[in-house]
Amino acid sequence: MSTIEKALGLLEHFSASRPEIGLTEFKTLTGVDKGTLHRHLTALRNCGYLEQNHATRAYRLGPAVIRLSAVREKTVPLVKTVESYINQIADQVHELTHAALPEKKGMSAIYAKDGGSHGTRVSFDEAEILPFHATSSGIAMLAFSGDAFVKSVLSKRLGRYTDATSTDIDEITALIENARTLGVASANQTYEAEVISFAVPFFGHSGEAMGTIAIATPASRMDSELEKTCIDHLIAASQNLSRDLSGKIPPHLADTWAKRLES
Amino acid sequence: MSTIEKALGLLEHFSASRPEIGLTEFKTLTGVDKGTLHRHLTALRNCGYLEQNHATRAYRLGPAVIRLSAVREKTVPLVKTVESYINQIADQVHELTHAALPEKKGMSAIYAKDGGSHGTRVSFDEAEILPFHATSSGIAMLAFSGDAFVKSVLSKRLGRYTDATSTDIDEITALIENARTLGVASANQTYEAEVISFAVPFFGHSGEAMGTIAIATPASRMDSELEKTCIDHLIAASQNLSRDLSGKIPPHLADTWAKRLES
DNA sequence: AGAAAAGGTTCAAATAATGAACCGGTATTT
DNA sequence: AAATACCGGTTCATTATTTGAACCTTTTCT
């Protein structure tokens, strides 16, 4: 693996719940030698991707990332495009709705709207990473990604978040197959207790899934009627979104979805 | 220079006006060998910092940057803090107002509001870089940064944007000295014709300038009264903003500003 | 004051980065 | 239609950077 990838991999460890990381903490997180870590962190800091808390010397994300995401959004206004569809769903279904993109370790929400309150711009609940194997977004993504990607995800350590989390590769593979067949992924309290969610992929130009949109509800509120409402809205939104992104929905999935919407 | 810094330096070349860059174009921009470039670009792509236009094979910024800036803003809500002050000024002065942070090649606006219309979130006019030596933001930043930084900026090629742009190091040094003495930087059509602007630094915990806030007006509208209004608003906003960021305004500057506001 | 832990530095050994030359596809010119 | 130019991408021996165990310094805790 190149030095560049190793260094950029360090940035993945930052999240809303872990906004600052010290040198030694990095060592325990990554297992990399302190000397190497220090050189990488210093390089990232020199470029503005990190900055240091003067008091604790811990590292946090730096100002350079602000500009990059602004340029990215000007180049490919994905967040803006996604926003309107998520808002529509949340307003009609009155449940937490979000869109997410794949990163190395899981799905990263780019926009979310609560069923009742205001939308939260860029970043889901906590700018947190949603693990692939334990969330509907993750399973939906894997179901419509290349085999190589699925394999690399499943070869990593699979954490257990609730009693219902599957950590067995065969079980997860079955979930993925199921989502591929149904055209929608579901997660029944596999990441957070008392939360049920549904997710579908959306597609970009490449024909592979670009990201997912999902609805999460309290388990107590879910019934077959709400389930159908959620899934219908997700499918319709993905069809529109994929069109806006000049994406190609795989033919067999397009068929599956069309049949679901008819019934 | 480390490989990491070389690779991340490539990302600096992207902007709203140059959103996609091909391999050969990168070669002419940077002078780096094609083989090396290709390896660096591929590494950045593998990490999600770049993605490729399938049709042209040109590179553009990737989805990974979206999450980073979300986490950064959750960690240090700088944009959010800056927003309210910029909005206040723009609403009261009715002129284009913005805040910017330093990057390697110039100031990068993080929020701007037109005197009349809506605010534009993250990114100024064009998510563009404002050169240090030719803008009021740049001069204000240099006037309150360390000597090493100023030296490194002035040792690079200094572009000429209008007839009024200073490209001579001594002239620019004089501008910087002047801004340091007055506590405010001004630029009279040195970057864009018919535009006059004023800028002041704001301060973070470190005691060095963290960024700048600035007002730009059409040259035709500027008179001594508007000038005083602009500068007073900028100084007051920077005092408040620096306080919110638990920043330290250098004592001599605090004095200079206090005197200006009295008169 | 002493111990422990954290951040940071050093330098020989190991490894990855480099770049000139090369390959293959596509668009343009003759 | 053949020749040419251009572009993205690849190869591999040479070269330079990265690596990590040990060491040093500063801060924090007892």
Higher pLDDT: A207 or B203? It is B203
Domain with CATH 3.30.450.40 in chain B: 76-262
- Summarize pLDDT for B25-51 with one digit per residue, the tens: 999 999 999 999 999 999 999 999 999
Residues 111-140 of B with CB under 8 A from A: 122-123, 126-127
Residue A123: pLDDT band (50, 70, 90) is: very low
**CA distance, residue B228 to nearest chain A CA (Å):** 31
- Summarize pLDDT for B50-105 with one digit per residue, the tens: 999 988 999 999 999 999 999 999 899 999 999 999 999 999 999 999 999 999 89
Question: DSSP 3-state assignment of A214?
Answer: strand
Residues 31-50 of B with CB under 8 A from A: 39-40, 43-44, 46-49
Q: Where are the alpha helices (DSSP H) in B102-199?
A: 136-143, 147-154, 169-182
C-beta atoms of B4 and A47 within 8 A: yes
Query: How confident is the model over A102-110, as a mean pLDDT?
Result: 93
- Summarize pLDDT for B183-229 with one digit per residue, the tens: 999 999 999 999 999 999 999 877 789 999 999 999 998 999 999 99
pLDDT at B121 over 80: no
* pLDDT, position B114: 86
Query: Protein A36 CA to nucleic acid C7 C1', in Å?
Result: 13
* pLDDT, position B123: 42
Higher pLDDT: A93 or B246? It is A93
C-beta atoms of A4 and B7 within 8 A: yes
C-beta atoms of A61 and B47 within 8 A: no
Class of the domain covering A76-262: alpha beta
pLDDT at B119 over 70: no
* pLDDT, position B122: 43
Question: DSSP 3-state assignment of B53?
Answer: coil
Q: How many CB atoms lie within 10 A of CB A45?
A: 15
Question: DSSP 3-state assignment of A129?
Answer: strand
Higher pLDDT: B106 or B121? It is B106
CA–CA dist B191, A119 (Å, integer): 38
CA–CA dist B17, A76 (Å, integer): 13
Instruction: Return the minimum-mean-pLDDT range out of A21-30, A114-123, B164-173, B247-256.
Output: A114-123
Say which DSSP state A15 is in.
B
One DSSP character per residue, B54-115 reads: TTT--EEE-THHHHHHHHHHHHS-HHHHHHHHHHHHHHHH-SEEEEEEE-SSSEEEEEEE-S
Judge whether B73 is closer than 8 Å to chain A, CB to CB.
yes
Domain with CATH 1.10.10.10 in chain B: 3-66
- Summarize pLDDT for A145-158 with one digit per residue, the tens: 999 899 999 999 99
Class of the domain covering B3-66: mainly alpha
